[in-house]
Structure 1
Amino acid sequence: MVVCLSMSYATLHIVLTNQEGHLHQTALFTIITIPCLFMMGLYERKYLLTLKVLCLRILIGLGLSFLCLMTIFYVAPGSRIWMSALFPALALSSLGLLGNRVVLTRISSISSLKNRVLVLGTGPQAQRIERAERELRPANFIVLGFAPVEPCSTCVAEERVVRANDLLALSEKLRADEIVVALEHSELSMPRETLLQFRLRGIRILDTATFFEREFGQLEIDRPYPNWLLFSNGTTMGRFETAAKRTFDIAVSMAFLLFALPLLCFTAVAVKLEDGGPIFYRQERVGLNGRKFSVIKFRSMRVDAEKDGVARWASVNDPRVTFIGGIIRKIRIDEIPQIFNVLRGEMSFVGPRPERPSIVNDLIKDMSCYPYRHIVKPGITGWAQVNYPYGASIADAREKLKFDLYYVKNCSLMLDLIILLQTVRVVIWPQGVR
C-alpha cells in the first residue's frame, strides 16, 4: 500500500506540479487503510478461502478507508491527498492486496510449511485433535501421527497410529516440530524423561489445553481446577491497567456516542412510531463479581414479549421481534444504548456479554466454571461475539464460554482494540442474528 500510494502520489503530485512533501500523506493513507483491512478479516486466513469473498472484503475494506479519509480531509483540510493520487493508489492497492493474499494463501497451504505435530495418545483427547485437523480449514498444523503411550482404547483412525519403542527416534524420523501430550491420565502415564529429552532437542511440548487455546482462541471448561485462573496475569489487572482500561472505555464510548448520535435519534423515532411502545428496554443482568444491574437497549420486541415473566432465548424468526426490531438487531444497533452502562461503570466496552440472572443460574448447573466470566466487567462486544455466531441453547453457551474465558485469561487493551476492529466485520457480515 505504501508503494502504491508513493508511486501514484510521487508521479502525479511531485513530477507534475514539482512539489514535495508527500510522505505524510503516504503515512496517513497507510495508518487509516491497515485497520480498515483488519476489520474485514484480511489478516486472517479463515476469511480468505474463496476468491469472491476475498475480492468483496478488499473492496469493502478500501471503501471504509476512503470514507475515513474523506472525514479526516473534511475536519483537517491540510492533510488532504489529491484525488488524482488517491484513486490510483486505491486501485493499485486493491490489485496488490488481491495478488498478495492469493499468493500467501497458497503458500500457507503448503504442508511442509505447517507445524509438524506428533501427538502422544490415542484416546478421546487425541481424537479431538484429529477432528480439529479435519474441521479447521485452513489448519496451521499437520498431525504426523498418534503414538500410544498409555493403555486405553484407540479413538483415532488406526492407519494414523504410529508405534515405536523410542519416541525420540520417532520424532526425529518424522521431523516433528512439536509434541502435543493428549493423554487421558497424564499424571500417571506422562513419559517425563522422554519429554525432557524432547525439550533438550529443541522440540516444543504442549498439552491439549494450550494447543486448543492457540489454535482456536478458546479455553477448556471441563477441568475442575483451572490452572489458568491461578497463574494467569490477565485476571488480576493492576491499578494502572485498570485505570487505563477505564479511560479507554470512556474515550471510546464518548467518541462512538458522538459519532452515532444521529443514528440513535433516528432509531428512537422509528421504534416509537412502529407501535407506540417505549423506546428503551431495561433488563436485569449479572455483572462484575455477580452484581446485578439494569442493562439499557433499544426495544426490539413486542411490549408483551415476556408477559409471563419467564426468560427465553430468542429463536430463529422469533415472532416477538418487531419489524424495526429485526433491522436493528441484525446490524446490532439495539446494543448501542449500553454505552450509558459503560459510562456509569457497570459495563466495559469490551468483555463477556452479560446474561440474565435466571439464565446464569441455569447455566451454572451445567457449567461449574461459568461464574469465572464474572471476574471482569461485562461488555457490549466481546471475544465470543467476534468468533462465534448468535447462540440460543446450552450447547451454544458452552462454546461461547470457552471464548469468554480466553478473554478473561488474556484481557488487555491490545486485545480490546483487536475485538473492537473485528466487531465492524461482525456488523457487516452478521452471523446468526435473531
Structure 2
Amino acid sequence: MEREYSRWRLRPEERRTILVIGDFIVALLALVIALVAWGQRDWLDFSQLLMQRIPRWFFLLPLGWLLLNIEMYDIRRAGRKDETVKGILIAAGVGLMLYLFVFFFSTPGDMPRVGVAVYIAAVTLLTLGWRFLYIRVFTAPEFLRRVLIVGAGVAGTTLANVVNSIRPQPFQIIGFIDDDPEKVGTEIAGLPVIGDSSRLLELIEKYQITDLIFAISGDLRPETFRVLVDAQERGVQITTMISAYERLLGRVPIFLLPTEWILRSFVDYAHTDSFYEMSKRILDILGGLVGTLITLVLYPFIALAIWLDSGSPVVFTQTRVGKNGKEYTIYKFRTMRQDAEKDGKARVTVENDERITRVGKILRKSHLDELPQFINVLRGEMSLVGPRAERLELVQSLQKKVPFYRARLLVKPGITGWAQVNFGYAATVEDTAIKLEYDLYYIMHRNLLLDLLILLRTVGTVVGFKGQ
C-alpha cells in the first residue's frame, strides 16, 4: 500500500505519461488554432470549414507530432532545456520537410498550405511552452523519488556516480545502507552511509524513502533478505542495480556483471519470438526497397562528387562480420583516401580523421555514405536496425579487451542501431565498451517499437548532421 508522502513522487513511466498527455493536449490546441486561422483567411465560418474544406488526414496531425517527438520521451532529455529546444525544433523541421515533399508531388490545390503552416508554428511554440513548464514543475525535488542504495561497494558506488552525473537528477539518493561497520558513518561518492540493514525500516520512515536499489554483488544475508521483503510489503519499490543502470542509461553495465551472466541471463533475453523476426524481416525488405530506390536516385550526384574530389572507386567494399560470425561484403560510398590502410592494418575511425576526404566529410555527417548498405539489407546480410558491423580483425582484437564483446554477433548488424543513435563512433577501447553496453541493451530489449524508435531517432541524427 502506497504511503502518503510517496503519492506525488513520480516514477519514470508516470513522467513519460504526463509528457505524452501534455504534448497531445497542446497538439490538439494547435489544431484548433490552425483551423480558426485557416477559416478566417478564406472568410469561412468554423462549421463551413469543417464541412467543406478539411481533408481527413489534417486531423491526424497531432498524432504525427507525437511520433516526430518520440525521441523527446526520454526522461533524461526531457528534463533539460537545451535538449528540449533542439529536439522540438528538429521535429518541426522534419515535419516541414515531409510536408514539402508531399506538397510538391501532390495535385495542385490538394494540400492546404495555410493550415499546415499555422499548425507547425503553433504546435512548436505551444510544445516549447508546455515542456518548459514541465521542467520547472515536475523536476522539482517535491516530485522526485527518494532512494536508498543497499550496498556501498563497487556496484552501489558506480550507480551513485552515474546519478550524480545526470542533470537534472532522475531521483534523490539519500544515502547508502551497508552492513560493513567500517563504512557506516562515512561518505562514499559524496553520499553518507547512514546505517546497516538492521535499521532499514526505521530509516525508510525517517527519510521518507520511496525506493531501494539493491547493489550487493556477493551473497545476501538472510536477515537482509527478510528486511527487504518487509520494506516491499510496506510499499517501497525495490530495484536491482543492473535494472536501475539500464533504465537510467539505456545500457548494460558489462564491467559489473559476473562472467556466467552471458549464459545464465543474456542468452535467454536474446531470444525473440517468430512474429518479431518475421515482422522485422518484412520491415527490412520494405525499408531496403525504399532505401535502394533513394540510392539509385542519388547515385549519379554522389558518384560525380566523389570522382571529382578524389577519383575512383566510388563504391567501397569491405569484408565485415555478421550474425553468428558469418562474413559478408559490405557496400558503402567511399569517404576515405584510396591509401587509407596502405599497410593493410585495420584501424578504427577517429574524430577529425585525416584519411577522410572533403566530400567524405559531408557524406559521413549526413550518413549518405551508408546508402549502398540497403543492398546488404535486401540480401538478408544486414538489418535496418542492429549493432554496427565490424571487421574480423577488430572483432578478434576487441573481444580480448572488452567483456562479452562477441555477444553482439547474436543478431544481424544494422545500418543504424541503439548504440549509433546514443553514442556515435568509438575511437578507443573505452568508447567501444560503452557502445557494447548499448548494443547488449538493444539485444536484450529489442522489439518492433524499439526498432521504430531507433529509425525515427536516426532521421533526427541525419537532419542534425551528427555523423562522423
What TM-score do you get using the length of structure 2 for normalisation? Answer: 0.85
Counterpart in 1 of 2:192? 160
SS at match of 1:415: helix
Alpha-carbon displacement from aligned partner over 1:11-38 (angstroms, at most 9, x marks no partner): 5335178243447244332233332233
Contact 1:123 1:156 in 2 (8 A): no
SS at match of 1:99: helix
The reply to whether residue 429 of structure 1 matches residue 461 of structure 2 is no
Contact 1:281 1:297 in 2 (8 A): yes
Alpha-carbon displacement from aligned partner over 1:223-246 (angstroms, at most 9, x marks no partner): 202268637765212322211110
Alpha-carbon displacement from aligned partner over 1:348-378 (angstroms, at most 9, x marks no partner): 1100001111111111111241111111111
Counterpart in 1 of 2:3? none
Counterpart in 2 of 1:271? 306
Name the amino acid aligned to 1:192: F
Q: Measure how far apart 1:57 and its partner are.
A: 3.9
The reply to whether residue 130 of structure 1 matches residue 163 of structure 2 is no
- Residues of 2 paired with 1:287 and 1:299: CA distance? 21
Q: Which moved more, 1:17-26 or 1:316-325?
A: 17-26
The reply to whether residue 194 of structure 1 matches residue 194 of structure 2 is no
The reply to whether residue 8 of structure 1 matches residue 40 of structure 2 is no
Counterpart in 2 of 1:34? 66
- Residues of 2 paired with 1:342 and 1:35: CA distance? 25
The reply to whether residue 366 of structure 1 matches residue 401 of structure 2 is yes
Counterpart in 1 of 2:435? 400
Counterpart in 1 of 2:254? 221
The reply to whether residue 116 of structure 1 matches residue 149 of structure 2 is no
Name the amino acid aligned to 2:152: T
Q: 1:291 aligns with which of 307, 316, 326?
A: 326
Counterpart in 1 of 2:136? 106
Counterpart in 2 of 1:253? 288
Counterpart in 1 of 2:317? 282
The reply to whether residue 142 of structure 1 matches residue 177 of structure 2 is no
- Residues of 2 paired with 1:143 and 1:226: CA distance? 28
The reply to whether residue 69 of structure 1 matches residue 99 of structure 2 is yes
Alpha-carbon displacement from aligned partner over 1:45-91 (angstroms, at most 9, x marks no partner): 54466656644543332232122123334555599453332222222
The reply to whether residue 205 of structure 1 matches residue 256 of structure 2 is no
Counterpart in 1 of 2:4? none
- Residues of 2 paired with 1:5 and 1:275: CA distance? 50
Q: Which moved more, 1:115-124 or 1:380-389?
A: 115-124
Contact 1:122 1:152 in 2 (8 A): no
Name the amino acid aligned to 1:94: T
Alpha-carbon displacement from aligned partner over 1:199-252 (angstroms, at most 9, x marks no partner): 211222122111101111111213202268637765212322211110011111
Q: 1:418 aligns with which of 442, 453, 456?
A: 453
Counterpart in 2 of 1:183? 216
Q: Which moved more, 1:341-350 or 1:16-25?
A: 16-25
Contact 1:123 1:155 in 2 (8 A): no
Alpha-carbon displacement from aligned partner over 1:358-408 (angstroms, at most 9, x marks no partner): 111111111241111111111011100111132111111100000000001
Counterpart in 2 of 1:321? 356
SS at match of 1:160: strand
Counterpart in 2 of 1:304? 339
Contact 2:33 2:122 in 1 (8 A): no
Q: 1:24 aligns with which of 28, 31, 56?
A: 56
SS at match of 1:270: helix
Q: Which moved more, 1:400-409 or 1:246-255?
A: 246-255
What TM-score do you get using the length of structure 1 for normalisation? Answer: 0.91
Q: Measure how far apart 1:316 and its partner are.
A: 2.7
Name the amino acid aligned to 2:179: V
Q: Measure how far apart 1:334 and its partner are.
A: 1.1
Query: 1:327/1:6 Cα in 2 relative to 1: closer, same or farther (>3 Å)?
Result: same
Contact 1:384 1:401 in 2 (8 A): yes
Counterpart in 2 of 1:241? 276
Contact 2:78 2:84 in 1 (8 A): yes
- Residues of 1 paired with 2:108 and 2:275: CA distance? 36
Contact 1:350 1:378 in 2 (8 A): yes
- Residues of 1 paired with 2:265 and 2:75: CA distance? 33
- Residues of 1 paired with 2:109 and 2:233: CA distance? 55
Counterpart in 1 of 2:12? none
Name the amino acid aligned to 1:353: R
SS at match of 1:300: coil
Q: 1:90 aligns with which of 94, 115, 120?
A: 120
RMSD: 2.6
How many percent identity over aligned positions?
Answer: 32
SS at match of 1:339: helix
- Residues of 2 paired with 1:188 and 1:311: CA distance? 50
Name the amino acid aligned to 1:100: W
Name the amino acid aligned to 2:253: E
Q: Which moved more, 1:23-32 or 1:123-132?
A: 23-32
Query: 1:295/1:74 Cα in 2 relative to 1: closer, same or farther (>3 Å)?
Result: same
Q: Which moved more, 1:133-142 or 1:189-198?
A: 189-198
SS at match of 2:147: strand
- Residues of 2 paired with 1:232 and 1:425: CA distance? 32
Name the amino acid aligned to 1:200: E
Q: Measure how far apart 1:190 and its partner are.
A: 7.6
Alpha-carbon displacement from aligned partner over 1:296-331 (angstroms, at most 9, x marks no partner): 111111111111110011223222111111111122
